[in-house]
Structure 1
Amino acid sequence: MLPLVLALLLAAGGVFLHLGAQLRGSADTTDLALTDPAAAGRVAGDVGTALGRVFSYRPTDTEASAAAARDLLDATAAEQYLALMDQLRQRVAEQKLTLTTRVVRTGVVHLGADRARLLVFLDQVAQREGRPATVAGAQLSVSARLDGGHWRITDLTAR
């Protein structure tokens, strides 16, 4: 009888060790968005600040947002931004358009040690000289990478 009980205890112990290893390695326990609110807050803050700087401009100074884009965007996001601004730069000056972008809400969808995915809601206020301002909401899926202690945006997708 004792050998049977010992065999059952060993088998149960092995099962529990296996289940514990699965839990420790699951995506839910390695996702810092769920386990490290301070890290999630840092990535949300960096990304929100970056989006506000990059997508705000004045008709007399689109270079400030372009300089911010060089500092804060990387990879596909930088290419997307350059293509967009190439199309808009002349129209912004001709129409005397000022755009102010403000992050309303940011959700960190996934956060690893050096990569993050976020969902960001923005309000954008467009003002043409002599006309009333218009407000539009925007929703972006954002990918970011930690670089030198700061988060750089690597991809943007409008939702």
Structure 2
Amino acid sequence: MSTTHEPEAEAAEAEAPQTDASGAAAPDEAEANEAAAGRRWRWPYGARRTAAVAAIVLLLLGGGGFDYAAHRLTDPAATDNRALTDTEATNRVVGDVSNALGKIFAYTPEDTGSTERAARDLLDGAAADQYQALFGQIRQRVAEQQLTLTTRVVRAGVVRLTADHARLLVFLDQTAQRKGAAATSAAAQLSVTARLDGDHWRITDLKAR
């Protein structure tokens, strides 16, 4: 006796999520969902204790994403936004701001002076005042606990750019290490405002997002 197949029923069965007797998602699906959630930008729990001390300047700067930037760039009010038309100027402000962040959020136990000098050169306005106050609080801790911090910009986007002002969203990777201990890494996101001062951009405002 010949049998017939019902393709639609088989397709529906193939596409249905695998569940256990309680109707909950099967382990493979649950694990996949957890893995996807883990890929979001966040401070890793295991890195918080060391990194929170080493990167306290960054964390205390107050508190989004590139979706926000995309919204701003499609807003009708953004017609005078040079970030949409001037590639050279956009690349220049991204380069200056990325370079500045790499310098002001980096130090070693032997040399916090270079960090402070960089901050005086590269920061202005509210950013400079807030940074100096906060860095003053951790300068001694860096030496006592033998802390080293390095920061790398992994992605930066210009939200708005005029002839002498810019707003950016920046993603950072930070690595903190206490002498004799394993290094810990953490991710951060900043909203940055910058002003053109002569031939380079200086950061005037910083906010953690």
- Into which bin does the TM-score normalised by the smaller protein fall? 0.7 to 0.9
CA distance in 1 between partners of 2:178 and 2:140 (Å): 14
1:124 maps to which residue? 174
Aligned to 2:181, the other structure's residue is in SS state coil
Pick one of 137, 158, 164 that aligns with 1:108.
Answer: 158
Match of 1:12 in 2: none
Cα RMSD (Å): 0.9
Distance 1:81 1:56 in 2: 13
Q: Deviations over 1:79-124 (max 9, x none)?
A: 1111111111011001100000110100100000000000011000
Tell me, in whole angstroms, the C-alpha distance in 2 between the residues paired with 1:157 and 1:137: 14
Q: 2:138 aligns with which of 69, 88, 93?
A: 88
Distance of 2:177 and 2:134 partners within structure 1? 19
Letter in 2 for 1:58: T
Q: Give 1:6-155 correspondences, 5 Å limit.
A: 27-155=77-205
Return the alpha-carbon distance in structure 2 between the equivalents of residues 67 and 99 of structure 1: 16
Residues 29 and 35, structure 1, Cα contact 8 Å, conserved in 2: no
Can you give the 5+ residue segments of structure 1 that lack an aligned partner in the other structure?
1-25
* 5+ residue gaps, structure 2: 1-75
Q: Return the letter of the residue paired with 2:132.
A: L
Provide the identity percentage.
68
CA displacement at 1:29 relative to structure 2: 2.8
The aligned amino acid for 2:124 is D
CA deviation digits over 1:29-83, x for unaligned, max 9?
3101111111111000000000000110001110001000010000000011111
- State the number of aligned residues: 134
User: Residue 157 of structure 1 aligns with which residue?
Assistant: 207
